[in-house]
Structure 1
Amino acid sequence: MEKSRVLRGMTARGGARVLAVDSLPAVRDLKELHGLSVLPCAVLGRLMSAAMAMAADLKVERGRVTLVLEGDGPAGRAVADAETRGLARGFISTRELPGWTRGPGKLDLSRAVGKGFLEVIKDLGLREPVRSRVELLSGEIAEDLAYYFAKSEQIPSACALGVRFSPEGEVLSSGGILVQVMPGASEEEISELERRMRALTSPSYSLERAGSLEAFAEEALGEIRWLGEVRFELSCRCSEEMARSIALSMPREEIAEHLRRGEEVEVVCSFCERAYRFDPARLLEEVERLEGEGGR
Structure 2
Amino acid sequence: MDELLRAVDRDQTVRVVAVRTTDTVQEAARRQGLTPSETVALGRAMTAGCLLATLAKSDRERVRLRFQGRGRVDGVLVDARGDGTVRACLKPTLDDENHPLAAVIPGPHRRPSLAPLLGTQGYLVVTRDLGLAQPYEGSSDWVSGEVDEDVEAYLNNSEQLPSAMTCETIVDAGGVVRSAGVLCQGLPDLDPQRIQAVRDTFADGALYQLLHQAREPADLVGFALGGDAFLPMGHHRVRFACSCGPAAARRVLASLGAADLDALAAERPETTVSCSFCGATETLSADAVRALAGELRAERS
Q: Could you state the TM-score of these two structures normalised by the residue count of structure 2?
A: 0.86
Aligned to 1:76, the other structure's residue is in SS state strand
| Aligned counterpart for 1:98 among listed residues 89, 92, 102 | 102
* 1:25-69 alpha-carbon deviations (Å, 9 max, x no partner): 100111111111111111111111111111133243411111111
| Aligned counterpart for 1:30 among listed residues 28, 31, 34 | 28
Contact 1:39–1:97 at 8 Å: present in 2 too? no
1:86 positional shift: 2.1
Contact 1:56–1:230 at 8 Å: present in 2 too? no
Residue in structure 2 matched with residue 165 of structure 1 by the alignment: 171
RMSD of equivalent CA atoms: 2.5
Contact 1:160–1:177 at 8 Å: present in 2 too? yes
Counterparts of residues 72-221 of structure 1 (less than 5 Å): 72-94=70-92, 97-100=101-104, 105-114=110-119, 115-166=121-172, 168-186=173-191, 189-190=194-195, 192-198=197-203, 201-221=205-225
Aligned residues: 291
| Aligned counterpart for 1:45 among listed residues 33, 43, 46 | 43
Query: Are 1:290 and 2:300 matched, yes or no?
Result: no
Aligned-residue identity in percent: 27
1:187 positional shift: 6.2
Contact 2:110–2:208 at 8 Å: present in 1 too? no
For the structure 1 residues 289 and 227, does the alpha-carbon distance in structure 2 shift closer, same or farther, using more than 3 Å as the test? closer
Contact 2:103–2:117 at 8 Å: present in 1 too? no
For the structure 1 residues 101 and 229, does the alpha-carbon distance in structure 2 shift closer, same or farther, using more than 3 Å as the test? same
* 1:58-87 alpha-carbon deviations (Å, 9 max, x no partner): 243411111111111111121111111222
Query: Are 1:264 and 2:270 matched, yes or no?
Result: yes
Q: Which runs of 5+ in 2 are unaligned?
A: 94-99
Contact 2:68–2:123 at 8 Å: present in 1 too? yes
Contact 1:259–1:281 at 8 Å: present in 2 too? yes
How many angstroms apart in 2 are the aligned matches of 1:127 and 1:16?
Answer: 30
How many angstroms apart in 1 are the aligned matches of 2:170 and 2:143?
Answer: 22
Contact 1:146–1:157 at 8 Å: present in 2 too? yes
| Aligned counterpart for 1:250 among listed residues 243, 252, 256 | 256
* 1:142-183 alpha-carbon deviations (Å, 9 max, x no partner): 1111111111221111111111112x1521111121111223
Query: Are 1:235 and 2:241 matched, yes or no?
Result: yes
1:254 positional shift: 5.1
- Larger mean CA deviation between 211-220 and 189-198 belongs to 189-198
For the structure 1 residues 181 and 266, does the alpha-carbon distance in structure 2 shift closer, same or farther, using more than 3 Å as the test? same
Contact 2:165–2:183 at 8 Å: present in 1 too? yes
Aligned to 1:138, the other structure's residue is in SS state coil
Q: Which runs of 5+ in 1 are unaligned?
A: none
Contact 2:53–2:82 at 8 Å: present in 1 too? yes
